[in-house]
Amino acid sequence: MREDLARLGQQGPWGAVIYTTASELAPRDVLEGARALEPVARKYVYISTVNAYRGWPD
């Protein structure tokens, strides 16, 4: 993941990063991504569906 984020950082600047596929990641992993792209992204939005569905595993 770090290598991917570094590549994205080199491709910027970005108006926004919208991260929707990280349900399985720990909050520290999401924070790492936000910090890695902070210099080149105006906004960073993380959308998690982990609590959107009834009966979703804890």
- Which pLDDT tens digit goes with each residue over 7-49? 888 888 989 988 876 556 777 888 888 898 999 999 988 887 7
Q: Is residue 55 part of a domain?
A: no
- Predicted model pTM: 0.67
Report helix angle 2-11 to 27-37, nearest 10.
30
| Structural domain span for residue 17 | 2-46
Q: Is residue 51 part of a domain?
A: no
Q: Is residue 27 part of a domain?
A: yes
Q: Is residue 56 part of a domain?
A: no
Who contacts 56 (Cβ-Cβ below 8 Å, separation ≥6)? 50
Q: Is residue 31 part of a domain?
A: yes
